[in-house]
Amino acid sequence: MSETLSSLIRERFGESVDVPGRLEHNSELTGLAAHRSHRAFTGEPVAPALLRTLLACAFSAPAKSDLQQSCVVHVEDRAVREQIAALIPSMPWIADAPVLLVFCGDHRRLRRICELRSAPFANDHLDSFFNAAVDAGLVMAGFIRAAQAAGLGCCPLSAVRNHAAEVAGLLRLPEHVFPVAGMVAGYPATERRITPRLPLDAFVHTDRYDDGDVEPWITSYDARRHAVLPLRPERQRDPGRFGCADFYGWSEDKARQVAVSEREDFGAFIRSQGFRLD
CA distances from 110 to 125, 230, 257, 278 (A): 14, 47, 37, 19
Binding region for its own copies (CB under 8 A) out of 90-98, 184-192, 198-206: 198-206
Buried b or exposed e, range 49-65, using 16+ CB within 10 angstroms: ebbeebbebbbebebbe
Out of 203, 232, 244, 246, the only residue in the binding site for its own copies (CB under 8 A) is: 203
Which of 7, 96, 121, 166 is in the footprint of its own copies by CB under 8 A?
A: 121
Q: d(Cα 67, Cα 170) in Å, to the nearest integer?
A: 26
How many Cβ atoms from other residues are within 10 Å of residue 217's Cβ? 16
Residues making up the chain, counted from first to last: 278
Residue 180 in the binding site for its own copies (CB under 8 A): yes
Residue 33 near its own copies by CB under 8 A = yes
Q: Does 267 bind its own copies (CB under 8 A)?
A: yes
DSSP helix/strand/coil, 84: helix
Nearer to its own copies, 128 or 188 (CB): 128
Of the candidate residues 14, 153, 156, 186, the single one contacting its own copies (CB under 8 A)? 156
Identify which of residues 43 and 120 has a Cβ nearer to its own copies in the complex: 120
Residues within window 39-98 making contact with its own copies, judged by CB under 8 A: 47, 49-50, 52-68, 70-77, 80
Closest approach, Cβ 259 to its own copies, in A, equals 4
Give the other-Cβ count within 10 Å of 255's Cβ. 11
- What is the total count of residues that contact its own copies (CB under 8 A)? 134
